[in-house]
Amino acid sequence: MKIIITGVTRGLGKALAEWYIANGHTVIGCGRSGAAIFDLRFTHPEPHTFDAIDITDSTRVSIWAERMLGVHGTPDYILNAAGISQPSAPLWTIPAQDFSKLIDINIKGTANIIRAFAPALIEAKRGVIVNFSSDLGHSALAGQSAYCASKWAIEGLTKSLAEELPHGVAALTLKPGKVKTDTSSTWAQIDMDGALDAATWAQNAAPYILTLGSLQNGQTLNYPAS
């Protein structure tokens, strides 16, 4: 399988990439950290490809996608795992630029990746887009208005996209539950007892993702199932 992963330099994105590579799949990844991308290139050379890409820049994403499609062809899966959170704070105290940064990465970045790669999937009449969501895409948490807004938006974006895609191409959201990541570490209010580390979560979640297809189009899935 050829798998595109955003946010590949840390957290769930990195853990998934490591599992897929170890199990014979080709990973095409992007992330914001140039140093971490260099390390991935050194550790996992071709056929894998890793690039430092700002997914909020639609022009750069488009150029990157065109190059990746030329090198690797149409991907089988696109995993939009990139996302950030912010320290808990009331909405009216969050600086406008901080709010905008989160929205740009979590929502616009996801849309930019889809916009760049979806035409190839549609032409090939196959492929699965997995947008990472959260329990906070269905509920509320004081101090996390920006993050909650972004994940509610991802749910709506994905369900609308699913209605637009032709048969054979699917879009769905995946909620990973309690996983210890840089993002979850900002949620002081959430009980993280029993939370898995990212690598442990990926050991079972990564093969599960590869079972997803047209039958799950438009669905919101939990892994582990709740």
Q: Is 147 a catalytic residue?
A: yes
pTM: 0.93
* Assigned architecture for domain 2-222: 3-Layer(aba) Sandwich (3.40)
Residue with tokens 């580390």: 197
Residues 119-137 have pLDDT tens digits of 999 999 999 999 999 988 8
Catalytic residue among 20, 77, 147, 208: 147
| Distance spanning both ends of the chain, measured CA to CA | 28
H or E stretch at 89: none
Residues 88-125 have pLDDT tens digits of 999 999 999 999 999 999 999 999 999 999 999 999 99
Q: How many CB atoms lie within 10 A of CB 107?
A: 20
Q: What are 30's two structure tokens?
A: 């992007």
Which residues of the chain fall short of a pLDDT of 70?
181-194, 226
